[in-house]
Structure 1
Amino acid sequence: MTEVIASLAGLDGRYRALFCDLWGCLHDGKRPYPAAVAALQAFRAGGGRVILVTNSPRPRSDVIRQLDGLGVPRDAWDDIASSGDAAQYAALTGAVGFKVHHIGGPKDESFFSELSEDLKVIAAQNPALERVALAQAEGLIVTGLRDDQTETPEDYRAELLLAKTNGLTLLCANPDIIVDIGEKRVYCAGALAQAYEEMGGEALYFGKPHPPIYDLARRRLAALNGGVIDDAEILCVGDGISTDVLGGQQEGLDSLFITGGLAHAEFGADVENPDALRLQDYLDAREQVATYAMGRLR
């Protein structure tokens, strides 16, 4: 049975590190949640480590700029592991070939233009990644929709069908299906990857709930800590039942399900206090197990 808790502080030192989601948990795409920021600051002040684990298709450097722009203080986190980081490594090592067709918006250009120092070494050891027209491509890299404010996956049906006919593998740099930007719900790269698989195409994923991003998060945590932290002392925090909770479950990590995010309407009228019976029915229906649950991170 999932334990509904009132605050992160109520866990009373059970964990030394958090793998914490961003969108819907720490911010809404437009502004940070003050209570969530305060909770992470307090966790760190007590000696804990916070790795922000995000399905953003952008590399760490770009995620930091985004957080700074939103007003998330840097003392709320220690390091970041993004889906973009993990996907960049795969792309640079030829996971879908070195001549690739890109689907994504201008905001995702940093995926190709910004590399960490370790990835610069990887890039130098391999053929250069080249963006080409679909007809010349060896593979697809999808970071999102070109215009997520107006488009849906249906707008890409013909393009994806041609890619599938040509036998291309799709590299998905953000497994999220949807995300809420303020009050507006938009589609993410995961929606296109899902549509591609439904057509019979092959997709590779590098964010939550898939292993590469957790491997990266563990490495960054170990580097901060001066050694590996046991999995029993790591808590995954997030509002995605099929990303944060499932990812934690598959990795053998405890999870804190933030019910006030994407699925907030499922748990009663009081967003801050989810109905325990509705919550359990929701989890059982999806065959998921969350160690804890909370309305909003605080």
Structure 2
Amino acid sequence: MTSLRFVERLRDLVDGVEVILSDIWGVVHNGLESFPEACEALHTYRQRGGTVILITNAPRPADSVQRQLRKFGVADEAYDAIVSSGDLTRNFVADHPGKKMFWIGPERDSSIHRGLDAVMAPLEQADYIVCTGLFDDETESAEDYRAMMLQAREHRLPLICANPDIVVERGDRLIYCAGAIAELYRELGGEAIFYGKPHRPIYERAMALAAERRGRPTSLDRVLAIGDSVRTDLTGAHSFGIDCLFLTRGIHSEEFEGIEQLDPASVKELFGHPPRALMRELRW
């Protein structure tokens, strides 16, 4: 294993890369505002013939994610398509007609079941749980759901996690996500099914969309993932067999403060499987 250095520009890494699978939250925006240089980098890459598929653990359909991106000022020209864990979760709901769903999440995530004729039910009457997040992620943590998860385990309910992230940035703060509740449920002995990174289905869908845009499949050695989470972005890319550009300005920023180069021991401790390169924030 070799040491890892920071690189300054995306253009130094994309020779021979035909497809970029980019995370959104932490790469393109921080939940409150977009990162203009990152958006411009992806746009420039597309102008030079590359394909950009945004892959996100957002528990909402892709069209809802796109509306949020537009609100933050992210131009449609920065990417070719969006794949969300919300879309994959909606597929699960659609494939289980007539089954009763107990939903955990804020009202803003209601698009997860909109138009699906989902049968909503209280926990004790449900066939499964869909978790898109915490009811109030400003004040709650997963521990606030321990009693609920114990009750769900007694009923042997599968929990469908529509966002495997544990935490994400919101401005300069970290807030808990659905993944925190799902991991607690697993620790308590419950069954959790995850849609989104680092799990394979979201990557398979992203590559299928890339093939549609390019008119042919792309070899995995010509694909680069971009993300800021070891647990989801880096692990997912490695498991799928693609390289990852790891951005350090996101949820792991404190761990990389003041570091210019990582020795092999630090690489193994921080990453396990090393990324292709490190960059503080995405720029062309």
Q: TM-score, normalization: structure 2?
A: 0.94
The SS at the match of 2:32 is coil
**Deviation by residue 1:26-77 (Cα, 9 ceiling, x = unmatched):** 1111111111011111101111010000000100010011101111111111
In the other structure, the counterpart of 1:65 is: 67
Does residue 50 in structure 1 map to residue 52 in structure 2?
A: yes
In the other structure, the counterpart of 2:273 is: 288
The SS at the match of 1:213 is helix
Aligned partners of 1:278 and 1:84: how far apart in 2?
A: 38
8 Å contact kept, 2:174–2:251: no
In the other structure, the counterpart of 2:165 is: 176
8 Å contact kept, 1:41–1:77: yes
Aligned partners of 2:233 and 2:265: how far apart in 1?
A: 17
Aligned partners of 1:285 and 1:180: how far apart in 2?
A: 19
For residue 194 of structure 1, the aligned residue among 160, 183, 188 is 183
Aligned partners of 2:191 and 2:250: how far apart in 1?
A: 30
The SS at the match of 1:27 is coil
Residue 183 (structure 1) shift = 1.2
Aligned partners of 2:261 and 2:256: how far apart in 1?
A: 8
**AA matched with 2:176:** Y
Aligned partners of 2:268 and 2:248: how far apart in 1?
A: 11
**Deviation by residue 1:194-240 (Cα, 9 ceiling, x = unmatched):** 11011111100010000111111111111111121111111000001
Residue 5 (structure 1) shift = 1.7
In the other structure, the counterpart of 1:40 is: 42
Residue 275 (structure 1) shift = 2.3
In the other structure, the counterpart of 1:106 is: 107
Same amino acid, percent of matched pairs:
38
The SS at the match of 1:109 is helix
Residue 100 (structure 1) shift = 1.1
Residue 139 (structure 1) shift = 0.8
**AA matched with 1:227:** R
Aligned partners of 2:19 and 2:224: how far apart in 1?
A: 6
Give the root-mean-square deviation of aligned CA atoms. Answer: 1.7
Aligned partners of 2:9 and 2:279: how far apart in 1?
A: 7
Aligned partners of 1:83 and 1:12: how far apart in 2?
A: 26
**AA matched with 2:58:** S
Change (3 A) 1:144 1:24: same
For residue 223 of structure 1, the aligned residue among 198, 201, 212 is 212
**AA matched with 1:101:** F
8 Å contact kept, 2:227–2:247: yes
Does residue 260 in structure 1 map to residue 266 in structure 2?
A: no
Residue 276 (structure 1) shift = 1.5
Change (3 A) 1:179 1:279: farther
Superposed, 1:40-189 pairs within 5 Å as 40-94=42-96, 98-113=99-114, 128-189=117-178
Residue 14 (structure 1) shift = 2.4
For residue 25 of structure 2, the aligned residue among 12, 23, 26 is 23
Superposed, 1:195-214 pairs within 5 Å as 195-214=184-203
Q: TM-score, normalization: structure 1?
A: 0.90
Residue 284 (structure 1) shift = 3.2
In the other structure, the counterpart of 1:120 is: none
Aligned residues: 281
Q: Which runs of 5+ in 1 are unaligned?
A: 115-122
Residue 12 (structure 1) shift = 4.6
